[in-house]
Amino acid sequence: MIERSHLEIFRAVERQGSLTAAAEQLHLTQSALSHAIRKLEQQLGTPVWLREGRQLRFTQAGEQLLNLANRLLPQFEHAEMLVGQVAKGQRGSLRVGMECHPCYQWLLKVVGPYLQQWPDVDVDVKQEFQFGGMGALFGHDIDLLVTPDPLHRPGVSFVPVFDYEQVLVVASDHPLAGEQWVEPDQLEKETLITYPVAPERLDIFTRFFLPAHAAPARHKTIETTDIMLQMVAAGRGVSALPRWLVDEYAQKMPVRALQLGREGMPKQIFLGFRERDVEVDYLNAFMKLARSIRWN
């Protein structure tokens, strides 16, 4: 009753916002698209969307079909891509999603030698999932997720690939710049600048502020590392980043890394993958190579 073509219509209507644009994207006439949906509604015995002026609003049944489309269509498309590559004599495709915002330079050190070792595997690095990588992994939009904060869910496994230290970064002329380490209460008047990630997934909150029942005066989010560190260097706030990244930027910006607490804050970068892909040889080879690469 429900065919793949129906699901493609639902996804196109959601993305394009109108029947006309959806029909154009799918290379259908609008009347053919409308006829297909009317026939589906007759079979289901319920409407799937309602017209409100020029807009369409999905009914409860339509929302269910849209959710189904967003789950299944990426899996169909991924399988077709892989089969097509096999048919052309290619090994496969490896799509890496970045949820570790400052790790791009590290990843380049892995991708280079990997491409030499696996010349018949296409590699694509996707940064648009940096703030929602788990959904992309489950939805088959990516095959590997680079993240410092794994969310353990059934069907997904994570392997650690390298260790680093999370540090506080301040301007070189900041009053705390001469300290070896800082305590939470020393930052209660500061503006904390982070990537746009929920505080419950940020170690600076969960491992530093919350155990001490402390908090910064203000929390500001910025997407790009360069702008974040420009703000810090200008005295507009402080941030928490990997030491290796701060040391790199300190060569060209007036910033300094401070230890978070007397004991510091050790961290790890993980690679997440779907457990059903555990036997894919070129995926395992990437993870093995990634574990051998360290940031100098």
What is the C-alpha separation between 295 and 218, in angstroms, rounded? 32
What is the C-alpha separation between 189 and 152, in angstroms, rounded? 34
126 within 8 A of 98, measured Cβ to Cβ: yes
Q: What percent of the chain has pLDDT over 90?
A: 58
- Amino acid in position 189: K
In angstroms, how far is the first alpha carbon of the chain from the final one?
Answer: 57
Average pLDDT, the chain: 88
Per-residue model confidence as pLDDT tens digits over 144-174:
999 888 888 899 999 998 889 999 999 999 9
Section 276-287 average pLDDT: 88
Going by pLDDT thresholds of 50, 70 and 90, the confidence category of residue 79 is confident
Per-residue model confidence as pLDDT tens digits over 229-274:
999 999 999 999 999 889 989 999 999 999 999 999 999 889 999 9
CA dist 11 to 6, 48, 134, 207, 231, Å? Answer: 9, 13, 20, 41, 40
53: left (phi over 0), alpha (psi -120 to 50) or beta: left
DSSP letter assigned to residue 83:
H
209 within 8 A of 238, measured Cβ to Cβ: no
Place of tokens 């899996």: 75
Section 124-143 average pLDDT: 78
What is the C-alpha separation between 175 and 178, in angstroms, rounded? 7
Question: What pLDDT, on a 0 to 100 scale, did the predictor assign at position 101?
Answer: 72
Q: Which two tokens stand for residue 144?
A: 């590997």
Q: Give the range among 75-79, 139-143, 208-212 with minimum mean pLDDT.
A: 75-79
Residue 84: pLDDT above 80? no
Per-residue model confidence as pLDDT tens digits over 19-48:
889 999 999 999 999 999 999 999 999 999
β-pair type (191-194, 218-221): parallel
Q: Count Cβ atoms within 10 A of the Cβ of residue 140 and give its class: 0-12 exposed, 13-18 middle, 19 or more buried.
A: buried
SS3 category, 220: strand
DSSP letter assigned to residue 236:
S
Neighbour count for residue 27 (Cβ, 10 Å): 7
Residue 99: pLDDT above 90? no
Query: Has this prediction a pTM greater than 0.75?
Result: no
